[in-house]
Amino acid sequence: MKNSKKVVVIGGVACGPKAAARIKRLNPETEVTVIEKGELLSYAGCGLPFYIAGEVENYNELMTTPTGVIRDSNFFKMVKDINVKNHTLAKSVDREKKIVYAVCVNTGDAVELPYDSLILAVGSKYQVPPIEGKELKGVNFLQTVEDSRKIREESGSLKGKNAVIIGAGLIGIEVAEAFKKQGMNVTVIERLNSAMGELLDPEIAYHLHNELKANNVLLKLGETVTKINDDGLGCVKSLTTDKGEYPADIVLIAVGVRPNIRLAKEMGLEIGETTGAIKVDRHMRTSDPDIYAGGDCVENNNLITGKPIYTPMGSTANKHGRVIADNICGIDSEFRGVPGTAICKFFNFNVARTGLTEARAKSEGFDYITVLSPSPDKPHFIKDAKLIIIKFIVDRKTKKLLGAQIAGPGDVAKRMDVAAVNIISGSSVTDISHYDLAYAPPFSPAMDNIITAANIAENKLNGFGSSYTPVEVKEKIDNNEDFILLDVRSQQEFEQMRIDDSRVKLIPLGKLRSCLDELPKDKEIIPFCKISLRGYEAERILTGEGYLKVKYLDGGIICWPYEKIT
């Protein structure tokens, strides 16, 4: 009888079960064993905040198939013919003998598992900052179902309690909503000057800040936590930063994760110098050709810079698992990399991003332009139309999209998917203008928001329109430069909301041509309106009339991330 190939998978959450299941579909005779140190398998880790919020009533729902069957060890054996050893910790690997040495965490019994191919899908570990008091009862991290159960079930009723979240990243923002839905008083403390600071530029993050405040979340930026204080009984009572003290019944530390590389280092596998994650090739092979790795423990290729990056995402982990399975089964399959796409929501506000931020594009040395394009996600005559703001960062030389950020209460996901695909395909941003996107008034404007943003980029790249970003205009104001901030909205709009600065001059667009004598040609003029559609029109009019120092304010007053009179 022909010996079947043996595959051992270490890790049973995302990448591991995905690879195991596909291997059995492609080559049913392969003997596949998954070992997992915890009890629970193949759960939706990204759904944990929604369990804390109460939107997912039973944590088992995070581990079920669409038909309601729990993906436990019995399911994997009976349905997939995959051997699962949960409560089993991989201690070491002998690469020469091709044996995984493990131990049952409940009994201490030793387990030896020979392999032909080994898959490391060991995930990540949350970062533990050096803060005094982090061991107190009531201080939490969030990575596993057990972590979420501890917060929701072991803390008693959450209503009326004080929660402090350290870190305003993706997890921090989502859990802030979850805590608010449980009736808690929520404070978010972030050492950077912006929520999601490494993922978003200021013009986009500003609107997220406003949404947090509008939902009564106390957002403290630019503060560093120095101590978590004890109530004298081993429980948390407050949290101290370099700027103040905040009462706390529950503390969530959400300052990021790092790759779990213990086994890989002990085995002598190559580790990425800049990421600290396991280095793999496009086939997801490690430096040992018989060992594959995927998920949060590996580095990825940045499709814009070509450099390695660490971007832990459940969606990416599942893609890794499929590629690994293909290659083990003899199918030449590659994972080329990622642009770094992410999305999250906070109540009715959505924010998504992909590629490079403007700050990162600048540090990488790109010569780029930016676009800010705010507009409703549907025609104005559709009652549930909602605002979204698109920011593009575009390489001036290649005309390729370097990055995109989209925020607002409207549909940001479909536009971000288009931007991500544009980057992955290697197309130019101007190609977006010709995409045949699905259109009907209940879904989008006739010229979809992302097509409009691409057209603005094309105008700028071809020299038909020049603009300043809000950040650049604010710098000019702070430097007390002499220029005219030309508001071309109506008098009524001006009275409802305006920029508070002595340089602001109101001339509605319809009167601009008849009021040119009020605008000196030797002074710089920065026209704007609500979203700068009329601001762009004014820039074109003035340029056509021989004004040489004209640039419109990108994004208009909607994208002005500073103080306004309303």
> 3-state SS of 305-339?
CCCEECCCCHHHHHHHHHHHHHHHCCCCCCCCCEC
Q: What single string gives the DSSP state of each residue in 263-292?
A: HHHHHT--B-TTT-SB---TT-B-SSTTEE
Contacts of 361 (CB under 8 A, 6+ apart): 368, 393, 402, 403
The torsion angle over the Cα atoms of residues 309, 312, 316 and 321, rounded to 10 degrees, is 100
First to last CA, the chain: 81
- SS3 state at 437: coil
- SS3 state at 488: coil
Cα 513 to Cα 360: distance, rounded to the nearest angstrom: 41
Residue found by looking up tokens 């979809």 in the block: 448
Q: Which helix (H) or strand (E) holds 470?
A: helix 470-478
Length of the chain: 566
Amino acid at 97: K
Number of H helices, E strands in the chain: 14, 32
166 contacts 225 by C-beta, under 8 angstroms: yes
Contacts of 304 (CB under 8 A, 6+ apart): 339, 355, 356, 402, 403, 423
Taking CA atoms, 154 is separated from 52, 108, 237, in Å, by 12, 28, 17
Phi, psi angle pair for 268, to nearest 5°: 85, 20
Taking CA atoms, 291 is separated from 72, 98, 117, 305, 379, in Å, by 25, 10, 6, 27, 53
Residue found by looking up tokens 């809000």 in the block: 470
Establish whether 15 is a catalytic residue.
no
Q: From the CA atom positions of the chain, what is the Rg in Å?
A: 27
Furthest-apart CA pair in the chain: how many Å? Answer: 95
Q: What single string gives the DSSP state of each residue in 496-565?
A: HSEE--TTEEE--GGGTGGGGGGS-TTSEEEEE-SSSHHHHHHHHHHHHTT--SB-EETTTGGG--S-EE
Neighbour-count burial of 408, counting CB atoms closer than 10 A to its CB (0-12 exposed, 13-18 middle, 19+ buried):
buried
Nearest to 150 by CA among 70, 239, 51, 236: 51
Single out the catalytic residue among 15, 46, 235, 529.
Answer: 46
Active site members = 46
